[in-house]
Amino acid sequence: METLKNIVKELRTQKDMSQGKLAELVGVTRQTIISLEKGSYVPSLLLAMRISEVLEVPIETIFIKENVE
């Protein structure tokens, strides 16, 4: 099964940004950011692009497709 892993938490903490602040900047709730960082929620392309813009990191660096057995 394919899944989408991400390094949002690492990049966010590097930027010293809170989950609430990131949520506000990308236009979602804090709970969505929590879920996304845990890997239990796969974001839409639009949200992924917004996160990429805010964190100033290419989208393919943040989100990595993985195969899980």
Kindly list the residues in this chain that would bind another protein in the complex (CB under 8 A): 20, 23-24, 27-32, 35, 40-41, 43-44, 46-47
Helix (H) or strand (E) holding 18: none
Minimum distance from residue 30 beta carbon to another protein (Å)? 7
Tokens representing residue 41 in the block: 């929620």
Tokens linked to 61: 């660096």
For residue 23, the minimal CB distance to another protein (Å) is 6
Residue 11 or 28: the one with the smaller Cβ distance to another protein is: 28
Tokens read off for 3:
């899944």
Q: Are 33 and 22 in contact, with CB atoms under 8 Å apart?
A: yes
Q: Could you tell me the smallest distance in angstroms from the CB atom of residue 48 to another protein?
A: 11
